[in-house]
Amino acid sequence: MKVDYLIVGSGLTGSTIARHLADNNREVMVIDRRPHGGGNVHDQLHPSGIRMHTYGPHYFRTNSDELWTYVNRFSSFYRFEARVKSWVDDAYEQWPVDEAYIRKSVGVPWKPGYEGVPRNFEEASLAMMPKAIYEKFVKGYSEKQWGVAASQLSADLAKRFDVRSDDDPRFSRHKYQGLPTDGYATWMANMLEGIPTTLNVDYLKNREAFQARRLLVFTGPIDEFFGFSLGKLQYRGQVRSHKYLPNVDYAQPWPQVNNPQLHNGPHIRTLEWKHMLQPQNAKQISGTLLTREETITPRSPDHYEYPFPDAENRALFKKYAQLAEQEPNTLICGRLGEYRYYDMDQAISRARMLAAKILQQ
Ligand SMILES: Cc1cc2nc3c(=O)[nH]c(=O)nc-3n(C[C@H](O)[C@H](O)[C@H](O)COP(=O)(O)OP(=O)(O)OC[C@H]3O[C@@H](n4cnc5c(N)ncnc54)[C@H](O)[C@@H]3O)c2cc1C
């Protein structure tokens, strides 16, 4: 089968590029090896009626008016502002941690645990907070999440959180925050409406059967595309265990509770999905659904979630990126193709930029 633009992967990157090309009257086809579209942006209904996100909690947020208008083209969103707590010393504490908690715990004035230019994640975290706070909230969490000492991770990773100077409990301060009214799966299906899409097909095992006349856009793992010829890029993934409690209204007071202390078990967080429903829908549900996430090193590329944030993997990725540049009529992109964590709004913005470039070629 030949098509002008073959898009491998129906996640946000592939779907956004496909939509943009189709809107500009290009011949496009999407294939995905999973049995559903949308990549990691997917959800499902538990028999109780509770909607859960299949690949971990996805909170949509953006500051861009233009991007917000774009995503609302495919579904309306209801306002949802995530609140995240950490279970520390047998109490629910604010995450990211706030200065009031630091003052209460270590006294005033308090000093950060590191001064100077941070060389790694541990030093970058300590530059924000006292050592005692780092050890309670950050150290154990990051070691569970990445499976190595925090000092082995890149300092950049610490840019994903801060210390709050106010008592605003919202996890994120973005102007627009929400969840699609009919769920992520519907939102993604609407994005691909009218575009030929084939599921359950692994492109890498069917290269001859699916060919692009003008451009192949590959959004799967870049190392897998090249048969892991230079070695494997490292990822972390998660094992999720779900528990439905039929006789409990709510089991925890917040949608997401982090578990940073090692003595409280290996899981990194517990989600209670009912908190994420619109209040009028939540009222009609009996029972509640909890999901615990425990981080692992996945074997199958289909379970890759977080690219490993260290210099060695970055260097290996750069070698693969050089190979990709030499590949004729091929663009390798997206979170797996660029070996980079993108929030949903960032993935869409980048994909729209790439699609605009493709149209100019
Ligand atoms: C645990 C977790 C939580 C997250 N939470 C948030 C959040 O709260 N807010 C937020 O904004 N973002 C969040 N994200 C980020 C969000 O998931 C990404 O922005 C988004 O998934 C990127 O889309 P993508 O298309 O680049 O990749 P993907 O969604 O991974 O899509 C890639 C697709 O390619 C397909 N594919 C791969 N190889 C092949 C092949 N050989 N043949 C055919 N198909 C193939 C895969 O099956 C997949 O469907 C989270 C990510 C993770 C991992």
pLDDT tens-digit series, residues 17-75: 999 999 999 999 999 999 999 999 999 999 999 999 999 999 999 999 999 999 999 99
What is the CATH architecture of 2-79+182-230+307-360? 3-Layer(aba) Sandwich (3.40)
Assess whether the C-beta atom of 118 lies below 6 angstroms from ligand 1.
Answer: no
* 77 burial level (CB within 10 Å; 0-12, 13-18, 19+): middle
Mean pLDDT within 114-120: 96
Q: Name the nearest CA neighbour of 338 among 238, 236, 233, 237.
A: 233
Strands 269-272 and 197-198, by their bridges, are unpaired
Q: Where are the chain's structural domains?
A: 2-79+182-230+307-360, 84-160
Q: Report strand pairing: 2-8 vs 211-218.
A: parallel
State both tokens at 297: 């090193």
**Residue 344: CB within 6 Å of ligand 1?**
yes
Question: Per-residue confidence at 307, pLDDT binned at 50, 70, 90?
Answer: very high
- pLDDT at position 116: 94
Contact 198 CB / ligand 1 (< 6 Å): no
- Contact (Cβ atoms closer than 8 angstroms) between residue 358 and residue 27: no
Cα–Cα distance for residue pair 63/250, rounded to 1 Å? 31
Q: How far is the CA of 350 from the centre of ligand 1 (A)?
A: 14
User: For 345, phi and psi rounded to 5 degrees?
Assistant: -65, -35
Q: Whose CA is nearest to atom 53 of ligand 1?
A: 305
Per the CB < 8 A criterion, the answer to whether 206 and 42 are in contact is no
Q: Residue 10 C-alpha to ligand 1 middle, in angstroms?
A: 9
In whole angstroms, what is the distance from residue 289 CA to residue 183 CA?
A: 17
pLDDT digits (tens, 9 = 90+) for 163-222: 999 888 899 999 999 999 999 999 999 999 999 999 999 999 999 999 999 999 999 999
Closest residue CA from atom 2 of ligand 1: 56
Check if 62 has its Cβ closer than 6 Å to any atom of ligand 1: no
